[in-house]
Structure 1
Amino acid sequence: MTINETAKPTTRKKRAPKAAATLKVDTTRNADAAEVAELACNIVSELRPADRVAVLLAMSEAFKEAADDAKQDTLNLAELAGAKSFRTPLGTISVTQKDAPIRVNDAKLLEHMRKHHPDAVETVEQVVPWKGKALIGRLAAIDGKVYDTLDLPKGTEYTVVDGTVVRADGQVVEPVDFAEVGAQPDPYVSWPASIEKKSAQGAVRSWVRNELASLTSRAIEASK
């Protein structure tokens, strides 16, 4: 085993996905609004889980953009009308203006306190930021303990014997005493950038713009 090898992830129980229809996407061109509407409204429940992730994320991004535009229009109207709220069939939409924050200059505050309240100033020991960051950046977890890879350069061969790391040259490597391995984080789902993602986002954004009036009207009717 070498320091640059990756440990196998912990086995997790997985729920078997329901059988789903196969989705075939032509990525050589942009889908038109009708295709996206069919994808989003008619067969989304039949897609594989990963397909639904992509479709619904694209839709949520498009709707967020539309909501942000609507919020700005509401702010503009509130300023013109001098209004602070608007009643809608779905409830009241409020326009809130917070007070400007007070920003403190820490260096000048320290200078002020030294001059006027010296008893309120204390000396604090701390690690030099860039040195601490460099050390933390080279830590590695091995068999549930944390080690400074300065003692295990990349490519160094080692074995773990009874919880102790021993290099191929016989040197025992001690774990650090200021860090520990935390709980294994849960896996998460992401949608990395790609040509297909960009195309889908553009198509869904176009569809949302074209169908927004109809969708909002139907939502209002459904809420009654």
Structure 2
Amino acid sequence: FIKHTAQIAKAYKEQRTVRCFRGLTLPSYLLSSRQEFVEFTLAVFLFVMLTMEPFLHCLNVDDRFVTNCCEHGEFYCTLSDNYDRISTLPMLLYFVLAADLIHLNIHLSSFVVICTSLWWEFVLYLGALVFLATAFASAIACLPQTGLDDSVQLRDFYNWPSAFQSLLSMSLNMYSGNNFEEISVATEVPLKWWIIGFGACWHVFLTNLMIAHFCESQLRAEFERI
């Protein structure tokens, strides 16, 4: 944290900054290296975690050295839960930094280069997935809510957020097969056809298009090297 504080102060003093969004400027060194950016993000999260450290907050109300003092109020329970949630991101960033060790092996390094070259295309297709899920979820949420209270439509497609989450689960093959059986016999027949339409657009069309585009990108890169 001290390292980045000094580097940021030096960058602003020497005006080595980059304008990113409207009036927002960032030190240029953060955008010139992935490692520097990840390290800075990790330092910010660690500082936030320090300010939320349950152990330090519990010292104000409890003489014991504890990390959970829910008996002193809901604030401390909520603080501890939020601390645990935020800690998941720094844990992931630690492994992102540790991934740089793969450059010690030429085969792993080559694999990472290939994955990195396809990263932007992967992000584009994730954006296409979100757009499709948003569109179909909006349509499904307009259907009349028929059936029993525990039916699949009222459980998984009652409103836009639940329909959006269910469609994302389907696209990632995380949706239960039993739920598909319930959809096939749902009283609201158009629900089944909307689900089929989403599956056709994503699993049949866009997934195959993504594979073909990845292959085309790699072939183009190989021809450029030749």
Q: TM-score range by the shorter chain?
A: under 0.3
Q: Which has the higher strand share?
A: 1
Taking structure 2 as the reference length, what is the TM-score of the superposition?
0.23
Q: Which has the higher helix share?
A: 2
Higher relative contact order (CA 8 A, sep 6+): 1
Q: TM-score, normalised by structure 1?
A: 0.23
